[in-house]
Amino acid sequence: MIRFARAADHAAIAEVVEAAFGQPDEARLVERLREGGDVLFELVSVDGDAVAGHILFSRLYADRAELFAALAPLAVRPGLQRTGVGKALVEKALDHAREFGAHGVIVLGHPDYYPKFGFAAETAASIRSPYSGNPAFMAIALEKGAFDSPMTVAYPDAFSN
């Protein structure tokens, strides 16, 4: 089952994120994004009462009025990776991002994983950001023309700590 994360899930989310990445940096990123008020939404996949996976979308600061989001991080509990939990989280989160009114989503992620959801480095080619040019820097347009003209985005301060 996938649902919006609750405050009561925060400790379990931190555990899953740290275990998935093998170190605490991404779990700390999640905490900083929450503290900074930059979280658009978080989803969890639950298996019984246990959090099996987590995805977070945060706002980006763009040089236009439309809403753009960053997907980071996506984490699945080791042992459940490669079972479809991550795929289900990404698909559900993209649906919610559309409902939230996001015009597009940017990810700095594995170039072999995210293209299956429609993310592409080519789509991100017109975006100026600290990650521009990195093959892992990809975007997906949720609204027609979202990335057709050049734009600059800034990530929340939480990403630079």
| Domain residue extents for the chain | 2-160
Q: What is the DSSP letter of 135?
A: T
Hey, what CATH class is 2-160 in? alpha beta
Q: Which residues of 139-151 are buried (b: 16+ CB within 10 A; e: fewer)?
A: bbbbeeebbeeeb
Identify the helix (H) or strand (E) that includes residue 13.
Answer: helix 10-21
Tens digit of each residue's pLDDT, the chain (161 residues): 999 999 999 999 999 999 999 999 999 999 999 999 999 999 999 999 899 999 999 999 999 999 999 999 999 999 999 999 999 999 999 999 999 999 999 999 999 999 999 999 999 999 999 999 999 999 999 999 999 999 999 999 999 97
Helix, strand, coil percentages in the chain from 3-state DSSP, rounded to 5: 35, 35, 35
